[in-house]
Structure 1
Amino acid sequence: MTAGPTTPPTGRVQLALNVSDLEASVAFYSAMFGVPPHKRRPGYANFAVEQPPLKLVLIETSEATRGTGAAGALNHLGVEVGSTDEVAAARERFSAAGLAAFDEDDTTCCYALQDKVWVHDPAGAPWEVYTVKDENPVDGRPATASLEVLGAGGACCP
């Protein structure tokens, strides 16, 4: 017997993109969504878009890594939630479904202190469910802080 539907975490979907020209990408997405970046750091920008509810993350990479068109654009996907309890609920849901999950609690990545849990879809696309505990920690680290979880091609970011 399968379990009935459960309430998904509240929050917004995160889309993390590889970009080879951060400045041009920031200008484009600022115009597209009508908001400036929420956070800027070297090689990194994120947008907290209210409509549609979206956390858009831009991670600067080389042109060779990024390529053109859709190929190479996706870094990872995520769901930003409002609390550590919601991260724990996602972790429990993944475990109950038999999904291999990878925890990162009290991790500093993308210049923020976070709790998160990672899973990969059947084709290997990484998804994170995360909450930001401190938007600007003293020991902020760049988007490459979770490469051991994601493999060489990914990064973490809220």
Structure 2
Amino acid sequence: MKRLHMSLNVTNLEKSIQFYSTLFGTAPTTVRDDYAKWMLEDPRVNFVVEASDAPGVTHAGIQVNEQGELDALFNRMQSTDGPYLPEGSTNCCYARSDKSWTADPDGFRWEAFYTHHETEERGAGCLPATATACCDGGGCC
């Protein structure tokens, strides 16, 4: 089963946690000094807020529950006209995941991932570099 993923940068994490906890009617499932995540069932969303000086939507994604779903999603990403960046197995956002990225015609980033387990470390940069990260010399994700 798939789950929509949405990640926002916020300037005040504490106030954002309070706001979204009230909006969703539940506390986050994961909270760190710079990060909070809600694994909602209704609607089925993995919703993340991250502390940042630059607020806004960073990317959207599709989280899957098994490797076969991920392989099919990776194939669909590669079939679009957008750039494709296979990131592979990575430690990111306090989780160990397999993931790839693409971008829509306007450059909006989409992530496809399968999370194996949560970790205590945030991991390296959770978004790939823009200019050199992707295909055919073009920008990606």
Contact persistence 1:87–1:117 (CA under 8 A): no
**Partner residue, 1:94:** 77
2:125 alignment counterpart = 145
What SS is found at the alignment partner of 1:145?
Answer: coil
Preserved CA contact (<8 Å) 2:38 2:48? yes
Partner of 1:43: 34
Q: Flag the structure with higher strand content.
A: 2
Partner of 2:67: 84
The amino acid that maps onto 2:119 is N
Specify the alignment match of 2:137 in structure 1.
none
Distance of aligned partners of 1:150 and 1:86 in 2 relative to their CA distance in 1, 3 Å threshold: farther
Distance 2:114 2:33 in 1: 22
Q: CA deviation at 1:108?
A: 0.2
CA distance in 2, matches of 1:12, 1:150: 25
Q: What SS does structure 1 have at the residue aligned with 2:126?
A: helix
TM-score by length of 2: 0.84
Shift, 1:99, TM fit: 3.6
Looking at structure 2, the residues matched to 124 and 132 of structure 1 have their Cα atoms a distance apart, in angstroms, of 25
Question: What residue ranges of structure 2 are gaps of 5+ in the alignment?
Answer: 132-141
Structure 1 residue matching 2:97: 3-state secondary structure: strand
- 1:150 Cα deviation from its structure 2 partner: 4.4
The number of equivalent residue pairs is: 131
Superposed CA RMSD:
1.8
Deviation per CA, 1:78-121, whole angstroms, max 9, x where unpaired? 01110222221111122234442111222000010000111001
TM-score normalised by L of structure 1: 0.76
Is 1:55–2:46 an aligned residue pair?
Answer: yes
Task: Tell me what 2:100 maps to.
Answer: 117
Task: Decide which of 25, 37, 41 is 1:34's aligned counterpart.
Answer: 25
Does the 8 Å CA contact 2:91/2:122 hold for their aligned counterparts?
Answer: yes
Gap change, CA 1:122 and 1:104, over 3 Å in 2: same
**Using the alignment, how far apart are the partners of 2:79 and 2:12 within structure 1?**
41
Give the aligned residue type for 2:9: N
